[in-house]
A and B are shown apart, each in its own frame.
Chain A
């Protein structure tokens, strides 16, 4: 596979994951805010904003309309939903020949639908509905990708993009909640933990595993270490390790080893991690470590397979 094609597939997938994540956070937040006191809702919006943009905002200045506008449709906010979707599509367009018609058309249709939308046009109805529909479209896209693309090298680059992005987004979200939990005054309340699970599509799977009793320690265990739940760190690390074994089959062993060693180390950290060791403040450190490792894998992936110097292989 051309290195440039691998590069575009990888980023297309990262931006798709980011779009889906953004849509889910906004959809869940818009639905849940009506059950919260204004202060709690504002604190929760501030966490969502920080998770998606990296910016800290004073909760008192937050207004649901303005935040949604900024997170969803603001072309000047480079992490907005519409910008992520546009970047996913730009990357897809550059590798149009490596995608199926169905994948391209699903993505393109969604972009063409959202592109002209404004806040005023969605706010008069039930604003949450649009974002739930976007999520449905993203799930359809995921299904179409799964069932119409060959599961060859290109597909594994999509997997890598998806799961590296997911680890980073999930990490940021968990970090914000568990760091805030240290502070019992403004920290997450019962309802916030429930919303956290919903941010990760994890509410039902969690209750099936642990019943409806919501405890931060169990949430951390589930979202970090559950090997079967698709939005856990462990699940994503497993998919990354598997994908790394499948890409660039003909690359020289030395270059493969550089990437696979990093993946092995990350998998060991997750496989042997114990949640009781992490409570009392250790969750944030663990997540910081995993996030750093995923960035190292990203870099190694590029230097081994995509941006390697031609002189090294001639």
Chain B
């Protein structure tokens, strides 16, 4: 089974990093950074001349006195804890199922208060604009009439749900739970790489990582004023509750595809943390447009469903009829207003790779503000000027097919042969609307414990945004790390791990 605990992110295809010239070394204190390469990318911990940045000073001094064996012991304690808690995914080899953990790196990634402030404001702005955009395209379509976004891009998207047209959603909030992927560019600025607006996962890892890493570095943690994140389940619960107008006896359930889904741990974790039911499709039934669960005492009504199932599978009567994960009649109950579903259906149209390129324009259009967080520069091949730029610079760009994810339909220019680039150029020319291109980005690097020492590895950042009656971002994130040296692929299915993320209060 393909691991998809952090689903809905594409592989970030970029060239392997060219080893830089710099190396962290200070007279007398070489360990544990004996092979810490500093290169072109921004490094989270060290300045280009090898000095620890101020927020990392406490961690640095702790690391320089802790023996390697002790670090290894703590790393093993982390891994044991994950294994025993069952925070694992299953790999099938030779008909034998092996359970693996997603490796958690011992060393925290630190985000300063100032950096976080900008991230928080930027993501709040972004989620507002994206929700206004969704309300618009499922409503009047003003943005299309005004020519800001081409009609074909929306109506041609396989994630556009005609069934949602004219259907009001509470607070106009289509996306209630969002997990955006940010990366830090060479200049040290955070930019948005991707908005995950469907069923983003990973938040349980954010919380589980905090639990084990805090235990590994209690003194450093205490001294730094790290902002707490433990209230995330409470905020999620409040967000889900805000979707119904009444406050007493709101019956909430998380809808999971079941125990074989690789994010099942997260579904069960959130259900326990919030104290709500965890249900599978087969536990639910719809009668007279009302959704019930089957309990030992009889049927019980459900008011809000936090679904962790894609649109396509949620209701076999409306969407894929071969889905056995969903609930027949659920969409009609939703349309009748008898049950609320988070996220709303049809949000995937707005995290499409091509729509992504328009988000800065959408922010200006709906909010009349300049974007606080930039996008990665993106060339839309559907635009004449961009197309010629892309074709002329294929050796420097990553080209992606709009409708694909997981690294399919992609050309990594600097890595491809001339023949591959020529072949891809033909594809782009014959269907330019289907392609976008981005420069290869050097993700920032962060100190990562790899057993024999601490080395630099590439990381991204996924904060989680909640949006119901109000917008809430818990000050924390999942930092994903590419554990292979030089690799830019942070996906857990391809050797990625994760790190605890410490957002400082000042």
Contact surface of A with B, Cβ cutoff 8 Å: 1-4, 6, 90, 93-94, 96-97, 101, 104-105, 108-109, 112, 153, 247-252, 305-306, 310, 313-314
CB nearest to B280 among chain A residues = A4
- Decide if A306 touches B86 in the complex (CB within 8 Å): no
Cβ–Cβ < 8 Å partners of A251 in chain B: 296-298
- Decide if A310 touches B285 in the complex (CB within 8 Å): yes
Interface flag for B283 (CB, 8 Å): yes
The number of residue pairs between A and B whose CB atoms lie closer than 8 Å in the complex comes to 71
Q: List 17 A-B contacts (CB under 8 A).
A: A1-B297, A2-B279, A4-B282, A93-B264, A94-B259, A96-B269, A96-B272, A97-B271, A105-B85, A105-B86, A153-B296, A250-B295, A251-B296, A251-B297, A252-B298, A310-B292, A313-B299
B38 to chain A, nearest CB (A): 40
B442 to chain A, nearest CB (A): 40
Given known contacts A1-B296, A101-B85, what 4 new A-B pairs fall within 8 Å (CB)?
Answer: A4-B282, A93-B264, A250-B297, A306-B296
Interface flag for B277 (CB, 8 Å): yes
* Set A93, A305, A310: member contacting B296, Cβ < 8 A: A305
Q: How far is the CA of A4 from the CA of B279 in the complex (A)?
A: 9
* Set A101, A109, A313: member contacting B298, Cβ < 8 A: A313
- Decide if A310 touches B287 in the complex (CB within 8 Å): yes
Q: How far is the CA of A104 from the CA of B272 in the complex (A)?
A: 13
- Decide if A97 touches B296 in the complex (CB within 8 Å): no
Interface flag for B262 (CB, 8 Å): no
- Decide if A249 touches B297 in the complex (CB within 8 Å): yes
CB-CB nearest 10 A-B residue pairs: A250-B297, A96-B268, A248-B296, A305-B296, A97-B271, A97-B272, A97-B278, A97-B268, A3-B294, A251-B297
Cβ–Cβ < 8 Å partners of B277 in chain A: 2
Cβ–Cβ < 8 Å partners of B283 in chain A: 2-4
Interface flag for B84 (CB, 8 Å): yes
Cβ–Cβ < 8 Å partners of B54 in chain A: none
Cβ–Cβ < 8 Å partners of B258 in chain A: 94
Number of interface residues of B (CB under 8 A): 28
Q: How far is the CA of A247 from the CA of B298 in the complex (A)?
A: 12
Taking A93-B259, A97-B271, A314-B287 as contacts, is the C-beta distance between A109 and B297 under 8 angstroms? no
A105 to chain B, nearest CB (A): 5
CB nearest to A75 among chain B residues = B96
Cβ–Cβ < 8 Å partners of B83 in chain A: 112
Cβ–Cβ < 8 Å partners of B272 in chain A: 96-97
* Set A1, A101, A112, A314: member contacting B295, Cβ < 8 A: A1
Taking A97-B272, A310-B285 as contacts, is the C-beta distance between A108 and B86 under 8 angstroms? yes
B277 to chain A, nearest CB (A): 6
Interface string of B252-270 (1 = CB under 8 A from A): 0000001100001100110
Q: How far is the CA of A1 from the CA of B83 in the complex (A)?
A: 28
B100 to chain A, nearest CB (A): 12
- Decide if B85 touches A2 in the complex (CB within 8 Å): no
Cβ–Cβ < 8 Å partners of B84 in chain A: 105, 108-109, 112
Interface flag for B293 (CB, 8 Å): yes
A267 to chain B, nearest CB (A): 22
Q: How far is the CA of A314 from the CA of B301 in the complex (A)?
A: 12
Cβ–Cβ < 8 Å partners of B287 in chain A: 310, 314
Q: How far is the CA of A100 from the CA of B85 in the complex (A)?
A: 11
CB nearest to A90 among chain B residues = B259
Cβ–Cβ < 8 Å partners of B269 in chain A: 96
Cβ–Cβ < 8 Å partners of B268 in chain A: 96-97
CB nearest to B298 among chain A residues = A313
Q: How far is the CA of A97 from the CA of B268 in the complex (A)?
A: 5
Q: How far is the CA of A90 from the CA of B4 in the complex (A)?
A: 20
Cβ–Cβ < 8 Å partners of B278 in chain A: 96-97
B398 to chain A, nearest CB (A): 39
Q: How far is the CA of A115 from the CA of B102 in the complex (A)?
A: 20
Q: How far is the CA of A314 from the CA of B247 in the complex (A)?
A: 26
Cβ–Cβ < 8 Å partners of A250 in chain B: 295, 297-298
A199 to chain B, nearest CB (A): 31
CB nearest to A7 among chain B residues = B296
Interface string of B33-53 (1 = CB under 8 A from A): 000000000000000000000
CB nearest to A301 among chain B residues = B296
A254 to chain B, nearest CB (A): 12
CB nearest to A305 among chain B residues = B296
Interface string of B291-313 (1 = CB under 8 A from A): 01111111100000000000000
Cβ–Cβ < 8 Å partners of A4 in chain B: 280, 282-283, 294
Q: How far is the CA of A94 from the CA of B280 in the complex (A)?
A: 10
- Decide if A3 touches B296 in the complex (CB within 8 Å): yes
A229 to chain B, nearest CB (A): 30
